Amino acid sequence: MMEKPVVEGGKPVRQQYLVFGSPEIKQAEIDEVVDSLKSGWLGTGPKVARFEKSFRDYIGCKHATAVNSCTAGMHLSLLVAGIKPGDEVITTPMTFSSTGNVILHCQAKPVFADCEKDTMNIDPKEIERKITPKTKAILPVHLTGRPCNMDEITRIAEEKNLVVIEDAAHAIEASYKGKKIGNISPLTAFSFYVTKNVVCGEGGMVTTNNAEWADSIEKYALHGLSRGAWKRYSDEGFKHYEVVFPGYKYNMMDLQASIGLHQLKRVEENLKKRERIWKKYDKAFEGLPLETPLPAEENTRHARHLYTVLLKLEELKKGRNFIQQALHEEKVGTGIHFISLHLHKIYREMFGFKEQDFPNAKFVSGRTISLPLSPKLTEQDVEDVIQAVTKVVGYYKK
């Protein structure tokens, strides 16, 4: 007889709740943060500069500028690329709200191009359909860590004289046909949020090979000052600053960089850990009424940020929200990545979107569940996730 889930009166798989996306923080990060606290330099300083250099070396780009979030990085990238009120920026609706919001922050118009149903990434054919005389940029998102079709996106951009700004919040380790994400397009923004593959708690980075843009991003990120705090108060002596344009408060702190420095050192080691978990999930979920992620495309490297399954609702008695709650009752935390932006109130009201305007994004939105994939997971944690998914999804199979 099939074991009952907790929602049907059964016993939970776990006793202690497994938090989705809980980061692995080691003693090296703690010691580095304490060192910063003792030094008295908490704000933007020498460790931010070290982190920028380490990230630049890892990506292979010429410039890397640390900011306080990927959202800030995308916003500043749009500004330095010249996006102005009334311009149109094409992006995917299958993303987090920040991708669309930063376009609105520039008083530009986000234009959605539907995703591919299988990869969940933006469809280049849909990009071409949405280009108008007002289109100035394309903002692709490497969802879950899977690189977008950058050959096609780059071709379209070059033919139409558009700038490409990549949202690589999920894609620090990713590469596309031998090129690291972050060293392909004119501008790329990364995230170091608490659930990401490199964690700073909060934080982001913008990479570019354009020195003028890098300089402008650095100024924009700290009030538009001509010199950052670290440069003004360094051993060379105090230097007066000048405000060169109205900037923002988007700078990263040394406290954040202290964590990131050691997280970045383990980025490849942690990717291998997540790859092992990924393979276990793939094998364990064979035969269940769900679709596991596609293998990485040829000559690309998947960053393995999110292990996202799509429920086969036609084979299940319950919907996605019920299944997610049932897993929660088994004490296994999960995520939803994402509810398509065109389904959210603000975008519905601003642009009059209907559910079927982006059918693939709607399809994914109603079926997606992301499972725990942190390098912090123990072997038992992984087995518990597998047991909980097998138990719940198997029980509600038609």
Report whether 193 contacts 166 (CB < 8 A): no
Query: What's the rounded Cα separation, in Å, for the pair 376 and 277?
Result: 11
Backbone angles phi, psi at 219, to 5 degrees: -70, -45
Half-sphere exposure at residue 330, Cβ-oriented, CA atoms within 13 angstroms: 26
Strands (E), the chain: 63-67, 88-91, 109-112, 135-139, 163-167, 175-176, 179-180, 187-191, 204-208, 290-291, 300-301, 307-311, 368-371
Q: State the catalytic residue, choosing from 109, 180, 196, 362.
A: 196
299 residue type, one letter: N
Report whether 358 contacts 93 (CB < 8 A): yes
Query: What's the rounded Cα separation, in Å, for the pair 243 and 254?
Result: 23
Query: What's the rounded Cα separation, in Å, for the pair 383 and 376?
Result: 14
Query: What's the rounded Cα separation, in Å, for the pair 56 and 63?
Result: 6
Counting every residue written for the chain, the total comes to 398
> CA 214, 217, 221 angle in degrees (round to 5)?
145
Say whether 180 is catalytic: no
Residues labelled catalytic: 196
